[in-house]
């Protein structure tokens, strides 16, 4: 499959609504049946438009698929960003981020399909979505906030650590999607403990600070 970027036509609100309807139908159909088993005619029928109209917005099946991948992956990532800026215990945000993304995947079948490795030719596409940069930025801002509060080590680069956290999170998501959510529940506290040990300042009076 040739990886071509989508080239959407923008011709006003009605055209954008039509394009979005096609894109929504594509996300659902590709997520359910995959790229190879889906025909553009199927998507057109699901979107209640003529088959030729699809090509007015997407030059071919590949460009429609890539646009659908970008849209669905971005929706998942945006929910993760929202979880970072939500009110709550600042010390729980790393754990909450992983489970927010996992819950979101259940509503976004195409993104889940990619992370499951069922579309290997475009799995890397998830790493290229602009929304991922927003997630890295939100993580970095959260870390800087905790540094200012004195709960995270000041000797670490928040931007570099945020990139690492996002990479680890995506790797965990791929593993969990492929082996089952039970793994996330089983090891969530352990993973959170590793991240906590890596970035947070020791708590005074804790057992690990008591000299023997």
pLDDT given at position 180: 72
Q: Is there a domain that residue 143 lies in?
A: yes
Q: Is there a domain that residue 142 lies in?
A: yes
Same domain, 78 and 23: no
Q: Is there a domain that residue 1 lies in?
A: no
Q: In the chain, which stretches have pLDDT less than 50?
A: 1-11, 205-212
Residue 73 · residue 131 · CB < 8 Å: yes
Same domain, 14 and 85: no
Computed over its alpha carbons, how large is the radius of gyration of the chain? 20
Q: CA angle 70-127-160, nearest 5°?
A: 135
pLDDT given at position 178: 83
Query: What is the residue-wise DSSP string for 118-166?
Result: SSTTTTTHHHH-HHHHHHHHHHHHHHHHHHHHTSB-TTS-HHHHHHHHH
pLDDT given at position 203: 55
CATH assignment of the domain containing 44? 1.10.10.60
Please state the separation of Cα 84 from the chain's center in Å: 13
Q: Is there a domain that residue 211 lies in?
A: no
User: How far, CA to CA in Å, does 20 sit from each of 9, 68, 86, 203?
Assistant: 11, 10, 28, 50
């Amino acid at each position: 499959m040739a990886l071509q970027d989508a080239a959407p036509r923008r011709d006003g609100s009605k055209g954008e609504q039509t394009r979005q309807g096609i894109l929504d139908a594509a996300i659902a159909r590709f997520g359910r049946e995959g790229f190879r088993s889906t025909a553009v005619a199927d998507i057109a029928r699901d979107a209640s438009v003529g088959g030729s109209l699809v090509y007015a917005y997407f030059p071919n099946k590949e460009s429609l698929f890539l646009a659908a991948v970008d849209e669905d992956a971005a929706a998942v990532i945006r929910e993760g960003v929202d979880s970072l800026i939500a009110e709550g215990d600042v010390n729980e945000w790393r754990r909450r981020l992983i489970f927010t993304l996992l819950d979101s995947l259940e509503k976004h079948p195409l993104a889940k399909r990619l992370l499951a490795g069922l579309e290997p030719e475009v799995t890397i596409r998830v790493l290229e979505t602009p929304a991922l940069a927003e997630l890295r930025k939100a993580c970095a801002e959260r870390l800087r906030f905790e540094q200012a509060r004195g709960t995270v080590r000041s000797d670490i680069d928040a931007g570099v650590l945020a990139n690492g956290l996002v990479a680890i999170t995506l790797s965990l998501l791929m593993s969990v999607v492929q082996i089952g959510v039970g793994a996330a529940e089983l090891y969530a506290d352990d993973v959170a403990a590793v991240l906590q040990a890596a970035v947070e300042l020791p708590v005074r009076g804790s057992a690990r600070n008591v000299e023997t």
